[in-house]
Structure 1
């Protein structure tokens, strides 16, 4: 069989029977994001919340009930789905008291300050835990009973996510049950454009031979497959929330479609598709709220390279790629449609940053006077912050042309306005802000070479007092 690469992961939560499809239709769909724990340098809860706020993310899903993060989320208004991990299901499913204790510790202790709106009981339980069905049902009932006892059952919903994967290239036999909503043409391959929401000519659309419904993307087809499956079991008017879907930005040699461009295309188009509130061919106009998998790359995950690269951001807050979200509202501030800035990669060698800073303020002919002592951008007085200003000034002066935000690899493009206090970066619309994870403006403890006292201002430009730095510049090609 050809390469089987799981590029489109979709996990569903079926909302309770008390929630009708008309209720779902009355509200707009939202985009949320998953936060996985398998990150070696996981940002602090405070920094995670700062990133969520900077990106206008109002819905998140946790794979556990991290106490520190739940406390940090208090009074933010962000809607939080917490999870009962699979390894706790047995105890909760066998004891009403254990379930009540779990709810007391992870829910009652945090509401209403933290806006916990749902509890996911387990994850892919039926496919990962043998003979788990009876325990799962009991766990759901016991958690629900604990919420009823606390008068929280009308505020917090209980569900269990289940998932399916779409394989770009070929369908393995285990995925055959999801084929009912589209024709599997010729050898059963799914066109990449069909998976990425790219526009298809009418003759390339997938058609359900049973219903004659036309599908222009895999996402709608899989959601409708879930609707059809429920309908076959005589369950209707139950809305679906897609709790995980995404695309990896990097893979190993057997995963050629796991690329930054494909990940960008899928998630950008997904966001626009969901927020359009068009629903699916089977249920047009019915909102399908969706959580993107995931916020950070999880470098500690096992398996192929793609498993580690589903995130929109690295752990240091740098975007893995820049989403293209024209017309998608204010969600995700790293949209570069209107503004982009050039800043430092804060973990790079201070000597490299210093040399690049010298070049920008010298041969690069950047006006670095705002970095002088007593001027608006002097503080914080470190090489990371000063280089960021100079890099961005050069990038903006060169009209953001390709290759002008590199500086020997120590610079990167961001859409988060790095302006702070009275220091307004060139290209800013005047709105102050900080880098999404706070690292850009943090004082540097790694080297004193960033102190701007090493420069003196003469004749409209900066000259370095360090001859060694000047010599180093001779090898620096911009």
Structure 2
């Protein structure tokens, strides 16, 4: 079962490139601070073999930028924290950086954004004081190169800039960062950019000291007695990941910025290092994160805003061990063989991958059906908008009909990855199209 879901995860990188325009995608972070780093062309080959279509580089590595040319892989290129101070103080340094690390490779290398530093506000006080100036200088340099409408500028920040995460409705930025954060958000709004967020439920779970169950951090289904609800909005949260997103959205709203979307630039789970840092937990988290992103929905307060997300990270770096998904020889940490997924045909969201369909089994237990329906429409990633009240497939309004719809939507999406039609014994396969 574990290996089946790793297949899902790995191929889901490629799946994002074949979905309709506007659909959420999963990307991958690439750090280069490790001994034995493969040559850049080999790294790109690994990306291609696993159909990874979006990457974020922590620096402007010339070898990787060159190797990524003519691949169509979308690239976020990073300004290091050490570079932020100089770029923030001298516009000429920003212009030089853009010419050397962006203009020299674009458009052959599909650079879509610049990430200015990483967690600057909480880790580098000197750089923090000129962070927004650095972002402005880089943006102005892009304007001079006629690239400002093609390449966004933002700065990844950690959840540590938020004073309190739960309940999300009362979350706000730490007051010591208010002035800089306000300027940063004003820049993002003026340039039509997005807020880059490094969101790690793993750290949120550790800091919670047992307040939240580990299933909440791993994006696993919660039993009814453990449902997490914001007491002020009555919104239900199925995962800490969504809680972090809404805490950030609300923090922006407190400063009167409500239209800036979030781009998750880092999220992951370590595979070694403690009771909760295990291979199994890491695999479970990644599997559920991919399904969550594939759902093409936002957190409870912004359900119509998908959450593009970059997984941390490709290789284990020297000072950040046990987060990597690949070894330096290109094999996967969660080892198994891969096969090419079947191609989906047509534009219909419910288009089938085969001539079989997944429907409710006659006489299925109602309580199990409700649990299966909830899972399929939540963690399973099924698109259940059509069975909501007032929508095209709401009637007949029965648990059997709604469950059959959600089961089949999930099955058709996941059959290519080995997804089954079981749902605790409440489902079965049929050759009769249930939509007819």
TM-score normalized by structure 1? Answer: 0.57
1:273 to 285, 288, 292: 292
Is this contact kept in 2: 1:123–1:160, CA < 8 A? yes
Return closer, same or farther for 1:39/1:212 CA change in 2, 3 Å cut-off. Answer: same
The aligned counterpart of 1:211 is: 233
3-state SS in 2 of match to 1:242: strand
C-alpha distance after superposition, 1:168-220 (max 9, x if no partner):
xxxxxx97511222899997522111111111123312111111100011101
Return closer, same or farther for 1:244/1:139 CA change in 2, 3 Å cut-off. Answer: same
The aligned counterpart of 1:256 is: 275
C-alpha distance after superposition, 1:13-41 (max 9, x if no partner):
xxxxxxxxxxxx97111000000112211
The aligned counterpart of 1:178 is: 165
In 2: Cα distance, 1:281 partner to 1:325 partner: 35
The aligned counterpart of 2:331 is: 318
C-alpha distance after superposition, 1:149-182 (max 9, x if no partner):
10000000000110127xxxxxxxx975112228
3-state SS in 2 of match to 1:308: coil
C-alpha distance after superposition, 1:204-237 (max 9, x if no partner):
1211111110001110110111000000110011
3-state SS in 1 of match to 2:270: coil
2:37 to 39, 42, 51: 42
1:287 is displaced (CA, Å) by 0.8
Is this contact kept in 1: 2:162–2:248, CA < 8 A? no
The aligned counterpart of 2:102 is: 107
In 1: Cα distance, 2:209 partner to 2:93 partner: 51
1:90 aligns with 2:77: no
C-alpha distance after superposition, 1:433-466 (max 9, x if no partner):
xxxxxxxxxxxxxxxxxxxxxxxxxxxxxxxxxx
1:131 is displaced (CA, Å) by 3.9
Output aligned runs, 1:13-24, within 5 Å: none
In 1: Cα distance, 2:57 partner to 2:241 partner: 22
Return closer, same or farther for 1:175/1:102 CA change in 2, 3 Å cut-off. Answer: closer
In 1: Cα distance, 2:111 partner to 2:239 partner: 32
C-alpha distance after superposition, 1:34-60 (max 9, x if no partner):
001122110110110000001110000
In 1: Cα distance, 2:223 partner to 2:282 partner: 22
Return closer, same or farther for 1:272/1:324 CA change in 2, 3 Å cut-off. Answer: farther
The aligned counterpart of 2:314 is: 295
In 2: Cα distance, 1:90 partner to 1:317 partner: 36
1:317 is displaced (CA, Å) by 1.2
Give the CA RMSD over aligned residues.
Answer: 2.7
The aligned counterpart of 1:461 is: none
Return closer, same or farther for 1:176/1:140 CA change in 2, 3 Å cut-off. Answer: closer
3-state SS in 1 of match to 2:168: coil
3-state SS in 2 of match to 1:178: coil
3-state SS in 1 of match to 2:115: strand
Output aligned runs, 1:370-385, within 5 Å: none
1:91 is displaced (CA, Å) by 1.1
1:272 is displaced (CA, Å) by 1.0
Return closer, same or farther for 1:120/1:214 CA change in 2, 3 Å cut-off. Answer: same
C-alpha distance after superposition, 1:46-83 (max 9, x if no partner):
11000000111000000000001100000000000001
2:140 to 138, 145, 148: 145
TM-score normalized by structure 2? Answer: 0.62
1:196 to 199, 203, 218: 218
Is this contact kept in 1: 2:81–2:127, CA < 8 A? no
Output aligned runs, 1:63-78, within 5 Å: 63-78=58-73
The aligned counterpart of 2:421 is: none
In 2: Cα distance, 1:217 partner to 1:27 partner: 23
Is this contact kept in 2: 1:118–1:156, CA < 8 A? yes
Say which one has the larger Rg: 1
In 2: Cα distance, 1:131 partner to 1:47 partner: 37
* Structure having the larger proportion of residues in helix: 2
1:269 is displaced (CA, Å) by 0.8
1:276 is displaced (CA, Å) by 1.2
Is this contact kept in 1: 2:227–2:236, CA < 8 A? yes
The aligned counterpart of 1:398 is: none
| Unaligned ranges ≥5, structure 1 | 1-24, 166-173, 302-306, 331-414, 416-478
1:324 is displaced (CA, Å) by 12
| Unaligned ranges ≥5, structure 2 | 1-19, 171-203, 344-416, 418-436
